[in-house]
Chain A
Amino acid sequence: MQTILASGLCKVLGQRTALRNVDIAVEPAELVVLLGANGAGKTTLLRVLAGVLRADAGTVSIFGEGSPSSRRARMHLGYAPQSTAIYDELTVEENLAFFARMQRVASCDVPAAIDRGLEFADLVQRRSARASSLSSGMKRRLHVACAVVHQPRALLLDEPTAGVDAESCAHLVSSIDAMRRRGTAIVWSTHDATPLVELGARSMNLANGEVVS
Chain B
Amino acid sequence: MIALVIALKDLRLLSRDPGAIFWALVFPLSFAVLFGAVFPSAQTRPDLEVGMSGDLSRIDALRRNGLSVTPRSKADGLANVRSGNALAEIDVTPAGVEITTDPMHAAEGGAIDAATTRAFASGLSGMPSVHRVSASPSSSPSGFAIAFPAAILWGLIGCAGAFATASIAERRAGTHARLCAAPVSAATLLGGKLIACLIACVVDSALLLVIARVAFGVPFEQFSFYGLPFVILCCAICFAGITVFLGVLGKSEQSVGGAGWAVLLLFAMIGGAMVPLSTMPHWLREASSVSPVKWGIVALEGATFRGLSFRELMPACGVLLAIGFASVAAAAARIARTTP
Query: Could you give, for residues 30-70 of chain A, a 1 whenever the CB lies within 8 Å of some chain B CB and a 0 otherwise?
Result: 00000000000000000100111110000000000000110
* Given A87-B9, A102-B178; 8 other pairs, CB 8 A cutoff: A47-B177, A54-B340, A74-B182, A79-B181, A84-B174, A85-B178, A90-B12, A156-B181
Complex: chain A residue closest to B175, CB-CB? A85
**B residues apposed to A, CB below 8 Å:** 2, 5-6, 9, 12-13, 16-17, 172-175, 177-184, 340
Query: Could you give, for residues 135-179 of chain A, a 1 whenever the CB lies within 8 Å of some chain B CB and a 0 otherwise?
Result: 000000000001100000000100000000000000000000000
CA distance A140 to B340 in the complex (A): 27
Within 8 A of B (CB), among A76-95: 77, 79-87, 89-90, 94
| Residues of chain B with a CB closer than 8 A to A85's CB | 173-175, 177-178
Taking A51-B181, A52-B181, A102-B184 as contacts, is the C-beta distance between A83 and B13 under 8 angstroms? Answer: no
| Residues of chain B with a CB closer than 8 A to A156's CB | 181
Q: Looking at the complex, which one of A52, A68, A89 makes contact with B17 (CB distance below 8 Å)?
A: A89
CA distance A52 to B180 in the complex (A): 6
CA distance A78 to B2 in the complex (A): 18
Complex: chain A residue closest to B184, CB-CB? A102
CA distance A83 to B178 in the complex (A): 10
| Residues of chain B with a CB closer than 8 A to A99's CB | 178, 182
Most A CB within 10 A of own CB, among B17, B173, B177, B184 = B177
B2 and A83 within 8 A (CB) = no
Number of interface residues of A (CB under 8 A): 34
Most A CB within 10 A of own CB, among B13, B174, B182 = B182
A-B contact pairs, 11 of them (CB 8 A): A47-B177, A50-B177, A51-B180, A51-B181, A71-B183, A83-B174, A89-B12, A90-B13, A101-B2, A101-B5, A103-B183
A146 and B178 within 8 A (CB) = yes
Taking A101-B5, A102-B2, A102-B5 as contacts, is the C-beta distance between A52 and B184 under 8 angstroms? Answer: no
Q: Looking at the complex, which one of A89, A90, A98, A147 makes contact with B5 (CB distance below 8 Å)?
A: A98
CA distance A162 to B6 in the complex (A): 28
| Residues of chain B with a CB closer than 8 A to A54's CB | 340
B340 and A102 within 8 A (CB) = no
Query: Could you give, for residues 99-127 of chain A, a 1 whenever the CB lies within 8 Å of some chain B CB and a 0 otherwise?
Result: 10111100000000000000000000000
B181 and A94 within 8 A (CB) = no
Most B CB within 10 A of own CB, among A81, A85, A102 = A102
| Residues of chain A with a CB closer than 8 A to B173's CB | 83-86
| Residues of chain A with a CB closer than 8 A to B178's CB | 79-81, 85, 99, 102, 146-147
CA distance A86 to B174 in the complex (A): 8
For residue A201, CB closer than 8 A to chain B, the reply is no
For residue A5, CB closer than 8 A to chain B, the reply is no
CA distance A81 to B174 in the complex (A): 6
| Residues of chain A with a CB closer than 8 A to B177's CB | 47, 50, 52, 79, 81, 85
| Residues of chain A with a CB closer than 8 A to B9's CB | 87, 90, 94, 98
B340 and A51 within 8 A (CB) = yes
Complex: chain B residue closest to A82, CB-CB? B174
For residue A75, CB closer than 8 A to chain B, the reply is yes
Most B CB within 10 A of own CB, among A79, A104, A147 = A79
| Residues of chain B with a CB closer than 8 A to A74's CB | 181-183
| Residues of chain B with a CB closer than 8 A to A87's CB | 9, 13, 175
| Residues of chain B with a CB closer than 8 A to A83's CB | 172-174
CA distance A170 to B177 in the complex (A): 26
Complex: chain A residue closest to B176, CB-CB? A85
A52 and B175 within 8 A (CB) = no
